[in-house]
Amino acid sequence: MSLEPSAKTVQLRRYDLVPGVLDDFLAWFHAEIVPVRTAQGFTVEFAYADREAEQFTWAVSVPGDAAAFTALEQTYLASEGRAAAFAGQPTRVAVSHVGLVETVVEAGSRA
């Protein structure tokens, strides 16, 4: 399946958090990660917290194909902004599940 020129590539990120850190993680995510990601050209598609399971799930996207996403991701990973956002932060993610995903139902569709 090929992407149209206006298509976007989405990366789904799901974290199993260290017990008891969800509120601190959310404050840090909003204050540090969202601004750094958006400044680098990513769009935050959504973010959800599951308090009971102590999980956090979110998605970021970029216009274009997987190669475009990978190129921007490499720039982000090497950025000073990302380094500053993570500097001095405790470990809050116990396990992460990260990968590119495809749309199978559009938002707002009735299933």
Going residue by residue through the chain, which has 111 residues, state the pLDDT in tens, using 9 for 90 and above. Answer: 444 545 999 999 999 999 999 999 999 999 999 999 999 999 999 999 999 999 999 999 999 999 999 999 999 999 999 999 999 999 999 999 999 999 888 878 786
Tokens of 35: 């601004």
Distances (CA, A) of 38 to 53, 66, 104: 27, 18, 25
In the block, residue with structure tokens 């935050």: 44
Supply the pTM of this predicted model.
0.89
Residue 103 burial class via C-beta count within 10 angstroms: exposed 0-12, middle 13-18, buried 19 and up: exposed
Residue pair 19/91 in contact (Cβ under 8 Å)? The answer is no
